[in-house]
Amino acid sequence: MPRDITYREAVREAMTQAMREDDSVFLMGEDVGVYGGAFGVSRGMIEEFGEERVVDTPLSEAGFVGLCIGTSLMGMRPIAEIQFSDFITHCMDQLVNQAAKLRYMFGGEAEVPLVLRTPGGAGTGAAAQHSQSLEDWFIHVPGLKVVMPSTPYDAKGLLLASLDDPNPVIFYEHKLLYNKKGDVPEEQYRIPVGEARISREGEDVTVVAAGLVHHHALEAADALSGEGVEAEVVDLRTLSPMDHETVRGSVEKTGKLVVVEEDVKTAGWGAEVISRIVESESFYALDRAPARVAGADTPIPYNKNLEAFIRPSPEKVIEAVRKLLDVKVGVYS
């Protein structure tokens, strides 16, 4: 039965259930054991599974991610946790040149069922080296899947599905979502990787988002409804492979598109969403140019006011939709 639990608890439950069911699943990372993870996600797991399956590692992302890739080739199903997504830069060779390529290079005879979990995004005052949104780097790499759930329900279902996948999956968990609660069934269930959902129906404009900013999009849509504008919100859930068909169907219904993303605007994944629409027959459904709401092209400031200034927000989504529809008055005026 569904229960009201946090995003953090949903991720932990998915890992715990997978590890109880399959002895080949293990968790490895910095402080995931005794400390319970930098954000408390793995708290209590070492007590149940022991230090051989919940493994505290030295400060070497390159080392333990490489080890996880090797064990996955030997039939294990590792979960690697990177404390902050910024630190993923330390294992770029392992992910981009090894994990992403090995199944292809061995003609499908080798599999790399690795799930790399990492908290991303800004909003915690953690400054430039602990607040980045680098997911677009990995969308660009064939062979890697990139998942970004926005709700506790999706976090559990997508993590269990990712653990079943024979390919490496980078699983982004936004720091500001860990305490968010939602209904999550106790039993196991899976949400297919690569399947978006329409989280709010509307007729006037399509708003595409993922992760934390999906909630910004929903908040903006509720405010816009008071102005007579009904926005349809699409939660991508998976950034690679991207569910173009769900976006296409919505855009063909509304004729307008706004994309909301937290990564920097230049070469962000929102440009890919728009490009796929513009390059397809759906282009003719648009009655005006699409818009993007994204992070500014700058390192994340420590100062909380500056940090808020350069990040997406519900108000910025409202402003973008108003501008697109030429709406001049509303609750945030």
> How far is C-alpha 54 from the geometric centre of its chain's CA atoms?
23
CB-CB neighbours of 124 under 10 Å = 15
- CB-based contacts of 159: which residues, under 8 Å, 6+ apart? 11, 14, 15, 115, 117, 149, 171
- Provide DSSP, 233-265: EEE--EEETT-HHHHHHHHHHHS-EEEEEEEES
User: Which residue among 130, 174, 215, 216 is the active-site one?
Assistant: 130
The answer to whether the peptide bond before residue 113 is cis (omega within 30 degrees of 0) is no
Give Cα separations from 15 to 21, 35, 149, 182, 188 (angstroms): 10, 17, 15, 18, 11
The amino acid at residue 37 is: G
Tell the residue number behind the tokens 């979990």, with chain if given: 117
d(CA 12, CA 3): 14
Phi, psi (5° rounding) for residue 38?
A: -60, -30
Radius of gyration of the chain (CA): 20
Q: Is 130 a catalytic residue?
A: yes
- Provide DSSP, 92-144: HIIIIIIIHHHHHHTTTSS----EEEEEE-S-SS--TTS----HHHHHTSTT-
Active site residues: 130
